[in-house]
Amino acid sequence: MPISVPHVLHGFRLDLEEESSLQAPPPDSTPGVRIKIVRVPSLTSDERSWPIRWLDENDNPWLRARFEGAGEHRIRFRLLDVAEFEVDGPPSRITAHALKDLPDATLRHALLEQILPYTLALRDHLMLHAAAARGPRGVVLLTGESGAGKSTLLAALMDAGLTPWSDDAVRIDLSDTTVRAHAGFSGLRLWPDSVAALPESLQGEVVVQGDDKPHWCPPEGTLPQDTASPTPTRIRCGLLLGPQAPSPRIRRLSLRDTVVLLHQHAFGNPHLDRQGLDRHFTQLEAVARSVPFCELRYPRRLSQLPEVVALLLEELESDGSDLFTKPGLDL
């Protein structure tokens, strides 16, 4: 179960030192997070309370958590009844106890795209469910419901020369007046038809079969060198992939709609009190005021992606601040 250090954890401003079958970090890295994976025949029964819960569409908890230790130094997660994760520090150490028959790809996905982002969300970082690509003028965020085509569009943007920045989780940096995105790219999770349609420039790479979507993993050395230790980069714009349309269309979202969109696609923190909620929505408003967001609708036909990408790039490469606001713009 290889996890690429440069392409993943540096993106969350983390490094990785592994005590398991995961691949070792580069010799010149400075480990900031130690991850230990222990395979077990079963998880121990835990009758203690889990005050933090994330619910599925049937209101059943699929992920539970609680703070432990002095000063809430430790967070313990329980993923259904298949794995438990003990996260120490901000995080600095993660110990995973996973069932022996849990597929490596499932554990990898849970660790990188659920446990790490939710840990950072519980530590009051703003984390978005989004794919992202970096162009010459900044990062483009791609949000939308599951199956909306975020990863497929990201692959098309990569083929057009943009740098992959994230496939599922983006940490937003609000440390100054410029809204930036940390990189966190480990590969693309694509449905089989999208894998088969990968452009020639992305063919021949490693595809790890997961429990649902295959996972396309770039081998070492195939991404730009600066993704090994990327600097958080200004967010140029955000695109919400909306319902299909007969032809490509883009419309700017209002400030209110952008805040609602960001809230819907943030990694939720059920632990927030009223003061925490106020801080959360203040962060969302700061992003919405600084970054233009638009809804993009287009036919979900792979054959039309090059046309959509070409039209997006024409807008994104302009040096003005009036993205997608030209009169009569109907891509």
Residues 6+ apart with CB under 8 A from 195: 207, 214, 216
Give mean pLDDT, residues 195-223.
Answer: 59
Reported as a single tens digit per residue, the pLDDT across 285-329 is 999 999 999 999 988 887 888 888 988 888 887 765 566 655 444
Find out whether 235 and 133 touch, Cβ atoms under 8 Å.
no
Displacement of CA 304 from its chain's centroid (Å)? 25
Higher pLDDT, 8 or 66: 66
Residues 251/253/258/260 CA torsion (nearest 10 deg)? -90
Integer angstrom CA distances of residue 11 from 1, 41, 181: 19, 33, 9
Rounded Cα distance between 52 and 29, Å, is 34
pLDDT exceeds 50 at position 169: yes
Q: What pLDDT score does 8 carry?
A: 42
Higher pLDDT, 86 or 10: 86
Q: What pLDDT score does 28 carry?
A: 37
pLDDT level of residue 139 (50, 70, 90 thresholds): very high
Q: What pLDDT score does 315 carry?
A: 81
pLDDT exceeds 90 at position 181: yes
Q: What pLDDT score does 214 carry?
A: 63
Q: What pLDDT score does 201 carry?
A: 65
> What DSSP string runs through 147-167?
TSSHHHHHHHHHHTTPEEEES
Q: What pLDDT score does 179 carry?
A: 95
Beta bridge partners of 189: 215
DSSP 3-state assignment of 122? helix
Displacement of CA 138 from its chain's centroid (Å)? 17
Instruction: Provide the whole-model pTM.
Output: 0.82
Q: What pLDDT score does 113 carry?
A: 81
Rounded Cα distance between 150 and 245, Å, is 16
Rounded Cα distance between 239 and 301, Å, is 18
